[in-house]
Structure 1
Amino acid sequence: MMTKIVNRITPTLKPNDHPYRNGAWTPNYTEYDAADLEVIGSVPADIDGVYVRNTENPVHEAIGRYHPFDGDGMVHVMNFRDGKADYKNRFVRTRAFVAEEEAGHAIWAGLMEPPEKSQRPGWGAHGFLKDNSSTDVIVHAGKILSTFYQCGEGYRLDPYTMEQEGVASWGPLDGISAHPKVDESTGELLFFNYSKFPPYMHYGVVGADDKLKHYIPVPLPGPRLPHDMIFTKNYAILNDFPLFWDPELIAQNKFVVRYHDDMRSRFAIIPRYGKTEDIRWFEADPTFVLHFLNAYEEGDEIIMDGYFQDDPMPASPNQAPSGYARMMAYLDQYLMQPKLHRWRFNLKTGTTTEQRLDDRTLEFGIINQQYLGCKYRYTYSAMAKPGWFLFTGVVKHDLETGASAVLEFGEERYGSEPAFAPRVDAKDEDDGYIVSLITDMKLDRSEAVLWDAKKLGDGPVCRIILPHRLSSGTHATWAQGAAIRAAQQR
């Protein structure tokens, strides 16, 4: 093993028993470059690309109560090529991270505290949060792009060197929400943002050259909390769900989420380069969708798959640390009950039909990203530990036959959001590997693990031992090496 410590951050955190600052969520503070890692099995030679994961790693003692989504972003990258793998990790040095580093303490209060506790105006849809860039991560135009779910700035890093390249130059005033999407067939990035000011949402397109090509308002009735979007070959799909801040309390600078089950869900279907007046709204059953899987066009219909929450505002659990009951509820998928679901929007009649695809509690699904926007067959959904924001396995669905297969990570082994890594010269949609970073609490270590996507039951193809035990986090992605190198040579 060749491991180089690049940097160590000294935290100001005080020891406590917070459920999301200990155990599998214990933060990391060392930045590594590591190669020639110990491998159980063999790294396959027919995989070329990077697996990128974002995590939350709080550096400073919180102002008031801490929510895991307040943690500072740390990006972890596994680079696979020629039967070898190396690992790097770095904090995302946002403007807020640098400001708190200079101050030596927290400046911004988090999601669970009122805005007046922040010492400075901040970022995000309600304007007082720290932009920690710790939610989502994608690769576009040859660079990593990390984002914050309440609309901060997009931060770019080189996926091979991890050199920090600062804020995306095309980022609009209202920021970028987490979950921009990359169309691998065109190289375009589609994104949205939202705020508490009219028109409340915007939609845009960035070209393969990393330049803003299109940006339009998407007027809403008031402030909303969209979390994700999806697209087809010709359309982008945004949403207006009946889960949003109480409008009367916003006027008092209080941001309290309410679920309005007497309101319908609405979906905005927009031609990729369409104008505001081209938007068509479709209604559907009330819910909240945290994440979508894919969408595609078929005849007069657009077919969209995602995770329909049966209970978007669940009751607080009976046992939770004092002051943290609501936080624990919103981090428990078994309370919100997300289910794999399908919507069909008929562009000719303007009607919506819906179909439940699986009654199991599933979320954080991924597909072979080369099929985003196109008709596809296979999905890979994460299974969660009841009561916790921890992933315990993956369910593979065959949407053509209805069959499914379960991959369990093992006792006290918790994974990152998986990704699908196509084989070099793959022959079909599921010809590749499932990748995840696994934290093993019994062995007190983390591993990068690959499974053959066609043979999940055969066990890992390889397990690569990492130089430290990783904190759990939110999102991850895969990007093909050939596409990264081509983009960087432009």
Structure 2
Amino acid sequence: MDVEIVGRLLSTLPEDDDHPYRTGPWRPQTTEWRADDLEVVDGEIPADLDGVYLRNTENPVHPSLKNYHPFDGDGMIHVVGFRDGKAFYRNRFVRTDGLMAEMAAGSALWAGVSEPPELAARERGWGARERMKDASSTDVIVHRGMALSSFYMCGDLYQVDPFTAETRGKETWGGKFPFEWGVSAHPKVDDHTGELLFFNYSKQDPFMHYGVVDADNTLAHYVDIPLPGPRLPHDMAFTENYAILNDFPLFWPAEALAKGRHIPRLHRDIPSRFAVIPRRGQTSEIRWFEAEPTFVLHFTNAYEDGDEIVLDGFFQGDPEPADNGMGNKWERAFRFLALDRMQTRLHRWRLNLATGQVKEERLTDSITEFGMINSGHAGRPYRYTWAASGKPGWFLFDGLVRHDLHTGTEERLSLGEGVYGSEAAMAPRVGSTGEDDGYLITLTTDMNADASYCLVLDAARVSDGPVCTLRLPERISSGTHSTWADGAELRRWRTADTAAEAVGL
């Protein structure tokens, strides 16, 4: 393995840190690496694997002002690239405005998720920022050959080179980017049309917008999605002809907001609502559907079936877990991040456009989340979801589950005690002929070996274990959202950009 340190950020985190989401599997990194010809620990890199796996990670550099939340960390992109039976690794911090300001100051300047917004002003003086920092640390997608990192509370989309992980600036969509509202995490790319679909939300009326960026990277559509009040949507879905937004009954109570308290509560007497809008439809064309109260962090897919829209996602049986006294203080404090406490199970809603009725069914009894599909089937009928299982009581992934939605069967892989994975992206093999004809890629944090690995698995035979295990330069922090980008497609955009630069475009 050819390894080089290309950067290191100065951290001010305490040496005696005891926060479980800044230590152990969540110990943040400060070093940025360039590693070529990754060491193959076991197996062989498939010759028909061509592309890059990207993962975003919350990776704090400075201690919080008071109470650290796992979603407060600065964004770091990890890249593992494959071609011709070889692999490379890169990791870089996303150079957000917030990170650069805090690096210059040598300390945190913003309040986090678990802190009141005015704390920054109180702690740091009038020059501090009162709104939450846009860390761009939640999600990562690839559109038109460029990776885009995003933040769950809405913000800028930072352009990241998918090969080097270097920040290239902010996406502007020709100056039409909705800078006042920003864009939420989980924008969607339709591989068939080249469009990017997105939403945003805020505490300002109408509380949500929905937009479409066309294949030429132009903001082509942007409309209001009126809601009864401020909400906390996290994901969306789409079909060939529709986009599906949501209004779940887990949100900030109005009386608490009036006092500056941002603590979401589940309103059990309010139904879940889904907004179905034609992909370039107007506000007046929205159809609302009511369903059982819950909260859904992530959807897996949606598609049209006659008069119905089939929508799949992870229903939370207990979106607001009570403090039952079980576990230590940290387990109780962050119980709402543990999959077993939230009771997240794969669920299906059928929204009938002709009758307005909603039918629901649980697709599995297994507790999983962070499901990924073959992106070529996004918005279309599909069969497989590859999801993560969670360590009881903690926000850590301890295995992978392949859900077959046609047969209802599951195939599992346990990573083993003390080993934690990332969201697994599905990488179709070169010349793929089937939905599961390819590989799963994930990164692990192995506390036993004090090391991290990239695992490559056969997507059709998950329980067989890795077909290839690659060693990374150091043990990386646990993390979540990921994506896969096809190598030939990336090179096509890179060639097009180079040609455009040559003629002054």
Q: TM-score, normalised by structure 2?
A: 0.94
Residue 168 of structure 1 corresponds to: 171
> Does 1:336 find its partner at 2:342?
yes
2-side partners of 1:271 and 1:326: how far apart? 42
Within 1, Cα distance between the matches of 2:440 and 2:291? 33
SS in 1 for 2:215: coil
- State whether structure 2 residue 156 is matched by structure 1 residue 150: no
Q: Distance in 2 between matches of 1:91 and 1:210?
A: 25
Q: CA deviation at 1:264?
A: 0.5
- Give the structure 2 partner of residue 200 of structure 1: 207
Q: Is the 8 A contact 2:364 2:408 kept in 1?
A: no
Note if 1:245 corresponds to 2:252: yes
1:276 matched to 2:279: no
Residue 325 of structure 1: how far off its partner (Å):
6.2
Look up the match of 2:89: 87
For residues 242-288 of structure 1, what are the alpha-carbon distances to aligned partners after superposition, in whole Å with 9 as ceiling and x for unaligned?
00001112122221211101000000001001011111101111100
- Map of 1:415 onto structure 2: 421
The equivalent position to 2:216 in structure 1, one of 181, 201, 209, is 209
How far, CA to CA, are the matches of 1:365 and 1:69 in structure 2?
19
Contact 1:122 1:131 in 2 (8 A): no
**Partner of residue 296, structure 1:** 303
Paired letter, 1:346: N
Provide the C-alpha distance between the structure 2 equivalents of 1:273 and 1:107, rounded to a whole number of angstroms.
Answer: 39
Counterpart of 2:73 in structure 1 is 71
Which whole-Å CA distance do the structure 1 matches of 2:128 and 2:349 have between them? 37
**TM superposition shift of 1:381:** 1.3
Where 1:386 maps in the other structure, the secondary structure is coil
Change over 3 Å in CA distance of 1:55–1:420 after alignment to 2: same
**Aligned with 1:450 (options 448, 456, 472):** 456
State the alpha-carbon separation in 1 of the partners of residues 261 and 215 from structure 2.
Answer: 40
The aligned counterpart of 2:316 is: 309
Aligned to 1:191: 198
Change (3 A) 1:58 1:348: same
Q: Deviations over 1:370-419 (max 9, x none)?
A: 10000001111110000111101111111112221111112211001111
SS of 1:473 mapped into structure 2: coil
1:317 and 1:213 map into 2 onto residues whose CA distance is 49
2:399 is the alignment partner of 1:397: no
For 2:109, the equivalent position in structure 1 comes to 107
Give the CA RMSD over aligned residues.
1.4
CA distance in 2, matches of 1:488, 1:220: 41
**Partner residue in 2 for 1:49:** 51
Native 8 Å contact 1:237 1:269 kept in 2: yes
Match of 1:27 in 2: 28
Distance change >3 Å, CA 320–CA 115, structure 1 → 2: farther
Question: Retained in 1: the 8 A contact 2:326–2:332?
Answer: no
The TM-score with structure 1 as length reference comes to 0.97
How far apart in 1 are the matches of 2:405 and 2:13?
46
| Structure 2 Cα separation of the partners of residues 316 and 391 of structure 1 | 22
Please say if residues 159 and 171 of structure 2, whose CA atoms lie closer than 8 Å, have aligned partners that are also in contact.
yes
- Cα shift at 1:368: 0.6
Q: What's the counterpart of residue 139 of structure 1? A: 142
**Pair 1:387–1:212, CA change in 2 (3 A):** same
Alignment length (residue pairs):
486
The secondary structure found in structure 1 opposite 2:366 is: coil
4+ residue runs over 3 A deviation: 119-123, 319-322, 324-327
1:460 to 447, 460, 466: 466
Helix, strand or coil: the match of 2:453?
strand
Q: Deviations over 1:212-269 (max 9, x none)?
A: 1111110000000000000000100000000000111212222121110100000000
- Structure 1 residue 341 displacement after superposition: 0.4
Determine the structure 1 residue equivalent to 2:490: 484
Contact 2:109 2:128 in 1 (8 A): no
Contact kept in structure 1, 2:276 and 2:287, CA below 8 Å:
yes
Question: How many angstroms apart in 1 are the aligned matches of 2:271 and 2:25?
Answer: 38
Change (3 A) 1:416 1:325: closer
**Unmatched segments (≥5 aa) in structure 1:** none
- In the other structure, the counterpart of 1:17 is 18
Greater mean alpha carbon deviation, residues 251-260 or residues 193-202: 251-260
Aligned to 1:356: 362
Q: Contact 2:184–2:199 (CA<8 Å) still a contact in 1?
A: yes
Greater shift after overlay, 477-486 or 54-63?
A: 477-486
TM-superposition CA deviations, 1:124-147 (whole Å, max 9, x none): xxx711111111111111111111
* One-letter amino acid of the counterpart of residue 65, structure 1: N
Amino acid at match of 1:152: G
> In structure 1, how many angstroms separate the alpha carbons of the residues matched to 2:416 and 2:194?
37
In the alignment, the residues of structure 1 paired with residue 10 and residue 359 of structure 2 have an alpha-carbon distance, to the nearest angstrom, of 53
Which residue identity is paired with 2:23?
A: N
Whole-angstrom CA distance in 2 between matches of 1:121 and 1:180: 33
Moved more, 195-204 or 32-41: 32-41
The AA in structure 2 aligned to 1:86 is F
Q: Secondary structure at the match of 2:364?
A: coil
Is contact 1:317-1:329 (8 Å) kept?
A: no
Residues 101-151 of structure 1, C-alpha deviations (whole Å, 9 max, x = no match): 11111101111111111237999xxx7111111111111111111111011
What amino acid is aligned across from residue 243 of structure 1 in structure 2? L
Instruction: Say which is worse superposed, 81-90 or 456-465, in terms of deviation.
Output: 456-465
Partner of 2:500: none
